[in-house]
A and B are shown apart, each in its own frame.
Chain A
Amino acid sequence: MTFLSLWNYWAIVVLMMLGLYVMIARENLVKKMMGLNLFQVSVILFYVSIGKVAGGTAPILLEGQPDALYSNPLPHVLMLTAIVVGVSVTAVGLALVVRIHEAYGTTEEVELEKLDGTGA
């Protein structure tokens, strides 16, 4: 029962692990960036999820209803900042991928290692 009632957290964990797996297992740098995005989005969902109050409505003041139940807006606001951070990381990461492609002519990790003659 608790397993099913916590389904949103399970979905988030699955998404997070997918992102992490893509980052580790994929050889292509652009795909690695996609994995990174999945990973970050799962955390955004996590925060939005913890801000939900059962039965609560959107946190906009309802006039004449002093005992109205609202969702917690704070995690949502925090995530606005985290989204900005995520977008910036993606922008810098993709800019680096473009520069790597200019310098090496490829974005595949295996070929990059060959071109540099190292495993690192």
Chain B
Amino acid sequence: MSEHLPALLVVLPLLAAPLCLLLPRPAWLRAFASAIALACFAIALALLRHVLETGAWSYALGGWAAPLGIEFRVDVANAGVLATVALLAAVVLPCGLGAAAGHAIPAGRSHLFYAAFLLLLTGLLGVTITGDAFNVFVFLEISSLASYTLVSLGRSRRALRAAFSYLLMGTIGGTFILIGIGFLYLMTGTLNMADLAQRLPAVEQTRTVHAAFAFLTVGLAIKLAVFPLHQWLPNAYSFAPSTVSAFLAGTGTKVAYYLLLRFSFTVFGAAFVFGRLGLDLLLLPLSLAAMFIGAIAAINQTDLKRLLAYSSVSQVGYMTLGLSLASVTGLTGGLVHLFNHALIKGGLFLVVAALVARTGSSELADLHGIGRRMPITSAAFVLGGLGLIGVPATAGFVSKWYLVLAALESGGLLLAFAILASSLLAAIYVWRVVEIAYFRAPPEGAPRGEAPLDILVPACLLIGASLYFGLFTHWSVGVAARAARDLLGVGS
């Protein structure tokens, strides 16, 4: 049994998704889907422990050996991402489809929501675990199709338009990735990533390989919402049901970031990507632009969910900044930020879900004095917000610390300054919410009381975890640093 864990991780949610259609009661569905997500998390943790102890684990799917068969390859880098994705699913799914979710699913149809959610989980886990380039495309499309569906379930009719433009952008991105993979196959005759990495250096001066890299990078940049390809993200996150936003914000762009790392460092190799093609020259200015423009746009929002969505654009900028520095410290910063931001932003979107459950709105204008009406929820928001800013003793501080270190290592004093300056912008948009929540009088006769426990507990759990990983960095930074060294091929 245990030798099949890598396959089980993907097969379990895949088989559970259609089973959701057979369960009659929403309560059973929620318990069932949560149990599956929890099981995935347990498997991901077991995989992470295994690769930390014994190194990379190659699993031949169906017993067909790589490079001909499809290989699932688990190493420290993707085991960490797998654990993050499964953790978010295990925390978000128990919130279920209560009043908090803000969805437009008719009663009696909630089984379809859980089925789509589990398919999304399948896709994200599959993309991360696979060692086969074409398999990446297939799983990416599974996750994308499921997320278009989930985004369209939002309460407002604008969710439909957001989902439609997300579908157009996402499919262009997916098809670009497919073209890139086609070029790679054309030049090397293989689809296995390890095999590609061996055969590419012989043909890397050809224009076809350059085009392959360009298509893959642009395609992934769309999925990752790198500025200026981020237009789909704010609409999709702000109109999707709150629980879906929480999960997507924590995992969707993160998996695309992991893929960009995998293709840049494992498949093409840092020497080719950064030395010959100079991806850093393109990615660095775009990351900086994302950090500032995302944060400035967030400051100008009047809706809390939209504010958080623009803040995500800005935080993706930090991650790609770590990538563009292409050093062990930079990648460590990027990967730690992947994990920390997943906790913080997932937690914050769940906090918004809790607020919406009581007030019925995520408009800032309707949240006056919410700090007195819902003290625990508002406190959770403040703690999560401090994480976004990167105040010491929060998880956000840890990742920004490594990014600043990496910037200083590469001699970019201005760059380090830019990271700090954009954190100040984050302080402004978080402060706007705090000011409204605590320093405005609540409207007369406004109802008091916390959100239902099934949404409050997961939200506090994620925010609490983000505080824990701000103080105890042994696990998060340890795994990220080892993953960064593996990706760059530097011995530990």
Residue numbers of A with Cβ under 8 A of B are 20, 23, 29, 32, 36, 39-40, 43, 46-47, 50, 74-75, 78, 81-82, 85, 88-89, 92-93, 96-97, 99-100, 103-104, 112, 116, 120
Within 8 Å of chain A (Cβ to Cβ): is B141?
yes
Interface set, chain B 118-141, CB cutoff 8 A to A: 134, 137-138, 141
Interface set, chain B 176-191, CB cutoff 8 A to A: 178-179, 182, 185-186
CB-based contact A29/B179 at 8 Å: no
Within 8 Å of chain A (Cβ to Cβ): is B110?
no
Contact (A39, B175) CB under 8 Å given A89-B145, A92-B145: yes
CB-based contact B172/A39 at 8 Å: yes
CB-based contact B182/A46 at 8 Å: yes
Question: Which one of B155-163, B196-204, B311-319 contacts A?
Answer: B155-163
Q: Specify which chain B residues have a CB less than 8 angstroms from the CB of A81 in the assembled complex.
A: 134, 138
Q: Specify which chain B residues have a CB less than 8 angstroms from the CB of A74 in the assembled complex.
A: 185
Q: Specify which chain A residues have a CB less than 8 angstroms from the CB of B179 in the assembled complex.
A: 43, 46
Q: Specify which chain B residues have a CB less than 8 angstroms from the CB of A104 in the assembled complex.
A: 157
Q: Specify which chain B residues have a CB less than 8 angstroms from the CB of A20 in the assembled complex.
A: 172
Distance, CA A93 to CA B185, complexed state (A): 29
> Please, which residue of chain B has its CB at the minimum distance from the CB of A29?
B164
Residue numbers of B with Cβ under 8 A of A are 134, 137-138, 141, 145, 148-149, 152, 157-158, 160-161, 163-164, 167-168, 171-172, 174-175, 178-179, 182, 185-186, 235
CB-based contact A92/B149 at 8 Å: yes
Contact (A85, B164) CB under 8 Å given A36-B171, A43-B182, A46-B182: no
> Please, which residue of chain A has its CB at the minimum distance from the CB of B152?
A96
Contact of A100 among B138, B160, B172, B175 (CB under 8 A): B160
Distance, CA A112 to CA B164, complexed state (A): 12
Distance, CA A40 to CA B148, complexed state (A): 18
Q: Specify which chain B residues have a CB less than 8 angstroms from the CB of A100 in the assembled complex.
A: 157, 160-161, 164
Q: Specify which chain A residues have a CB less than 8 angstroms from the CB of B167 in the assembled complex.
A: 89, 92-93, 96
Contact of B161 among A50, A85, A93, A116 (CB under 8 A): A116
Contact (A96, B160) CB under 8 Å given A85-B141, A89-B145: yes
Contact (A99, B145) CB under 8 Å given A40-B171, A50-B182: no
Q: Specify which chain B residues have a CB less than 8 angstroms from the CB of A103 in the assembled complex.
A: 157, 160
What 9 pairs between A and B have smallest CB-CB spacing? A103-B157, A85-B141, A96-B164, A100-B160, A50-B186, A99-B160, A93-B167, A89-B171, A47-B182
> Please, which residue of chain B has its CB at the minimum distance from the CB of A115?
B157
Q: Specify which chain B residues have a CB less than 8 angstroms from the CB of A120 in the assembled complex.
A: 235
Q: Specify which chain A residues have a CB less than 8 angstroms from the CB of B152 in the assembled complex.
A: 96, 99
Contact (A23, B149) CB under 8 Å given A96-B160, A100-B161: no
CB-based contact B171/A97 at 8 Å: no
> Please, which residue of chain A has its CB at the minimum distance from the CB of B135?
A81
Known: A29-B164, A74-B185, A89-B167. 16 other contacts (CB 8 A): A23-B168, A36-B168, A36-B171, A43-B178, A46-B182, A47-B182, A82-B137, A82-B178, A88-B141, A92-B149, A93-B168, A96-B152, A96-B164, A97-B164, A112-B161, A116-B158
Distance, CA A97 to CA B164, complexed state (A): 8
Distance, CA A75 to CA B138, complexed state (A): 14
Distance, CA A75 to CA B190, complexed state (A): 11
Distance, CA A66 to CA B9, complexed state (A): 43
Distance, CA A85 to CA B235, complexed state (A): 24
Of the listed residues B138, B145, B160, the one surrounded by the most CB atoms of chain A closer than 10 A to its CB is B160
CB-based contact A32/B185 at 8 Å: no
Distance, CA A92 to CA B150, complexed state (A): 11
Contact (A75, B185) CB under 8 Å given A39-B172, A85-B138, A116-B158: yes
CB distance from B368 to the nearest CB of A (A): 24
Q: Specify which chain A residues have a CB less than 8 angstroms from the CB of B172 in the assembled complex.
A: 20, 23, 36, 39
Distance, CA A97 to CA B174, complexed state (A): 20
Q: Specify which chain B residues have a CB less than 8 angstroms from the CB of A40 in the assembled complex.
A: 171, 175
Q: Specify which chain B residues have a CB less than 8 angstroms from the CB of A93 in the assembled complex.
A: 164, 167-168, 171
Query: 21 A-B contacts, Cβ less than 8 Å apart?
Result: A29-B164, A36-B168, A36-B171, A39-B171, A39-B172, A43-B178, A43-B179, A46-B182, A50-B182, A50-B186, A75-B185, A82-B137, A88-B141, A88-B145, A89-B171, A93-B167, A99-B152, A100-B164, A103-B157, A112-B161, A120-B235
